A and B are shown apart, each in its own frame.
Chain A
């Protein structure tokens, strides 16, 4: 059933890709998307049936430029929107990569503030699992030909985004202009609190889930590894953290268990502002190259957030013992 749905969505994505970017038509390209469970009234969704060009984006997103298009699924009743975007991103080596996302299904933001939809990542080849949820796009109320919003991708963000609506006879020619990079407010106070005594100590994981490998026999190890992958937040079956640093730059040692696999990380550059907490993540000690970030909130002996290690995101909740 899941595979059939994937095939259906892939077909629709391929059809829609043909019309994105410089397409002049605004209807008639999408086919095959299942009717969403939640209906967005046409009066709310119709204004969003547009082509957009990205004009500004949070610098942390690493997106250089992009464009997208929302349109109603052909023949749907009640009508529902499907979106497709093409973003040009900065890769770690400085080159520009193309990322394709579809946005489906749309639902209303609370309080009538706009629309939101999961961002589905579209791969280069139509093999199993090539359309997967990779984040979320929120589009706030349209003001003139501008619309602001925010986007989460790859388990990271959210970052602010701003789009301009393209007129019917306007085209980027497949080369959307470079979007303005919006600076982000980063915590810059050292440590995870004003006093080391607030955060120094031993922590225990409080959001541990059941160990998925218990009844897996020989397959237990590979399940443990696989369950530790992905942007949704890996299933963690255990873990701990030790923070040290009063009187010197604070560091932390983190252990997370996913099934039968145990991973160790060192956190450096601990920083805070208000209840925001961040740190740099290393796999092989504090002097090894950083592999990701920890972003979250904390205070009063608690820390909640996401520990990002490359393609893997660990949702962690720690409490001081």
Chain B
């Protein structure tokens, strides 16, 4: 009698686990519409755009710096982009366009660090020269290809 009770409970448990696993699988497949052709996936796009919304707001709030404020501006921007990079990297890009955007963002962090160092040395010619490397990344264009609407936008200065 006791044995039958345990067997029934075990069976119910197995059925329950299978049922729960089925629910999880369904949820996953409904949201994971990754484009094999290299476009954007819904989860990645919405999460990256959310991160970009925050980053763009923080950068826009910095306004246009006066000469004496350039270093502070560079340091803050570097921090914001570094955080954005961390958030986007954690999303795990799947399509080729998402990967290209993520890779370019990583490169931007390194370039921004070089620019900030040049600003620390008050070598503003170097800051400008190194920024050419940021232009060459075409990050906005890559964002568009990955169907990232907000990430493709240029932050508009509030001041």
Chain A positions near chain B (C-beta within 8 angstroms)? 121, 123-125, 127-130, 132-134, 212-223, 225-232, 234, 260-263, 283, 291, 309-312
Contacts and interface: CB of A to CB of B under 8 A. Distances in A.
Nearest to B120: A127
A123 B125 contact: no
A222 B139 contact: no
A230 B59 contact: no
Interface residues of B, number: 50
Contact of A129 (B59, B81, B112, B126): B126
A260 B128 contact: no
A260 B115 contact: no
Given A213-B154, A216-B134, A311-B67, A132 B60 contact: no
A218 B55 contact: yes
Interface string B132-158: 001101111111000000011111110
B55 A310 contact: no
Contact of B123 (A132, A219, A223, A225): A132
A263 B140 contact: no
A66 B68 CA distance: 29
A217 B154 contact: yes
B84 interface: yes
Given A260-B156, A260-B157, A134 B140 contact: no
A130 B130 CA distance: 12
Given A218-B81, A260-B155, A262-B157, A232 B137 contact: no
B43 interface: no
B125 A219 contact: no
A215 B135 CA distance: 8
A134 B152 contact: no
Contact of B127 (A215, A217, A229): A229
B143 to A, nearest CB: 5
Interface stretch (B8-16, B18-26, B31-39, B70-78): B70-78
Secondary structure at the B interface, as helix, strand, loop or mixed, is: helix
Contacts of A219: 81, 108, 134, 137, 139-140
A182 B68 CA distance: 31
B62 interface: yes
A220 B60 CA distance: 10
B47 interface: no
Given A216-B134, A263-B64, A130 B121 contact: yes
Given A213-B154, A218-B139, A222-B112, 5 more contacts: A222-B59, A229-B70, A230-B124, A230-B128, A312-B124
Contacts of B139: 215-219
Contacts of A215: 138-141
B126 A132 contact: yes
B118 interface: yes
A212 B137 CA distance: 11
Contacts of B114: 128-129
A228 B157 CA distance: 15
B28 to A, nearest CB: 30
B77 A222 contact: yes
A129 to B, nearest CB: 3
B96 interface: no
B16 to A, nearest CB: 46
A127 B52 contact: no
Contacts of A234: 128
Contacts of B153: 217-218
Contact of B60 (A127, A221, A231): A221
A129 B130 contact: yes
B56 interface: yes
A254 B77 CA distance: 27
Contacts of A312: 67, 124
A231 B70 CA distance: 15
A231 B137 CA distance: 24
A231 B125 CA distance: 6
Contact of A311 (B122, B130, B143): B122
